Amino acid sequence: MTQDLFSLDGKVAAISGATRGIGRSMALALAEAGADLALLQRSPEQTQLKEDIEKLGRKCCIIPCNLERMDQVKEAIPSVVSQFGALDILINNAGIQRRAPSVDFAESDWDDVLHINLKTVWILCQQAGRHMVARGRGKIINTASLLSIQGGFTVPAYAAAKGAVAQLTKALANEWAKHNVNVNAIVPGYVATDMNTALIRDPVRSSQILERIPAGRWGEPDDFKGTVVFLASDASNYVHGHLLAVDGGWLGR
């Protein structure tokens, strides 16, 4: 049955940045499709998502993972494997944003954004890849950005990091496709999340953005549910190194 291609029954997924926004919707979608979840969280005391996943009848654990601490980042995937026995799906969704004119952009902000948005993605991919390549299967899904493709304004570090995430996705796909490990990325458009609050509240910029989106609206976190299940499931087994835009048509304009 075609619907079986999208089933995640018996799969184990790890996800970062899932306590709110796009990440929360993606985590719930994976659980609704049948996966058990490991939540890589900075704040283990935030248990609402864990409880919501368990209400769906899935197993869920919280792995303490402060992305500013490389020791915790390097321990995260081994901890997931230790608790569940395997890892089938990794979603790298966590990220931060800093805005300032490029002539004034602080070096510390550059370092913070590149560390969280790129280095930790690389380390988690590498750790998961070692496990998945040895098993001969797995799915890695990175969260890229429109700024993986476009330059943006006043976000030089974010654009640099997300551009690199897109290229890292392709590079890993080239190496690991022969091992049945799919590495792809989701490219969110303008989505109504906390990260975009400043843009939403700016009447001029918000209007400019809406005028360019063919769908005529900002995206919502639930718009990513079907996308993540597709890329995490057998339905995407021949999809490698792809940047899948969920942008209301922005990039086609």
Residues forming the active site: 158
- Please give the backbone phi and psi of residue 76, each rounded to the nearest 5 degrees, phi first: -60, -55
- Contact between 40 and 16 (Cβ < 8 Å): yes
Pick the closest to residue 125 from 78, 172, 67, 68 (CA basis).
Answer: 172
The single-letter code of the amino acid at 123 is I
Q: Is-contact 149 193, C-beta < 8 A?
A: no
- C-alpha to C-alpha distance for 90 and 101, rounded to whole angstroms: 34
194 burial (CB, 10 Å; 0-12 / 13-18 / 19+) is exposed
